Amino acid sequence: MQGNESTLLFHALCYEQGHERRTQHILKVYALAKLLGEAEGLDEEQRQLLQAAAILHDIPIRYCKEHFSGDACQQNQQREAPHLVRSFLHQAGYCPGSVAPVLNLVLRHHDYSSPRDRLLQLLIEADLIVNCYENRPNAEREKMICSLFETACGKQLLELCLHPNPVSNSKEDYHEKT
């Protein structure tokens, strides 16, 4: 693998040019994917693939918005992802053999109906948890999202996101602890 994850993350964040939502989304999905991968005991190579895919999972959005009159639909993202993923991985020193598995994860992270391998499952769970924090799902969507989770850590984090404890969810509590 031998890529530089920090370089990849830096280039992805710079690519977003300070766009608040996309920048924060990258950071949150990356952090949760890293956490889930460690909780699931992934080996080093698997963790690197997962974390690279987490960094790049939505990288086509900006390109699509700029080149397709604001249309970042899944079809446009799928079409543009290969060259963007390849370029970012190359720029960060990842070996050519890492492109296909990372690209596969990027292309499939919204495919909830096909069979999923372990890395894809973890990326989907990380992305869905962040999506739920960013946009609260209605009851029907929440039920569908919950049905997609398989890992104990992911299920617990999703539950905390969807049904937080109101007593421990205030800013005052945080400031009292720090």
Reported as a single tens digit per residue, the pLDDT across 127-140 is 999 999 999 999 99
Which residues are CB-contacts of 58 (< 8 A; sequence separation ≥ 6)? 22, 25, 26, 29, 77
Look-up: residue for tokens 């909780």?
39
Residue 66, number of CB atoms within 10 A of its CB: 10
* Residue 170 banded pLDDT, cuts 50, 70, 90: low
| Mean pLDDT of all residues belonging to the chain | 92
pLDDT confidence of residue 174:
47
Q: Quote the pTM value.
A: 0.91
8 A C-beta contact, residue 119 and residue 27:
no
* Residue 58 banded pLDDT, cuts 50, 70, 90: very high
Q: Residue range 83-100: average pLDDT?
A: 96
pLDDT confidence of residue 169:
57
Say how many domains are in the chain: 1
What is the residue range of 148's domain?
A: 5-177
Is pLDDT of 1 > 60? no
By CB atoms closer than 10 A (0-12, 13-18, 19+), residue 169 is exposed
Q: How far apart are CA 19 and CA 39, in angstroms?
A: 30
Q: The domain that contains 60 carries what CATH number?
A: 1.10.3210.10
Query: How many residues are recorded in the chain?
Result: 178
Reported as a single tens digit per residue, the pLDDT across 7-54 is 999 999 999 999 999 999 999 999 999 999 999 999 999 999 999 999
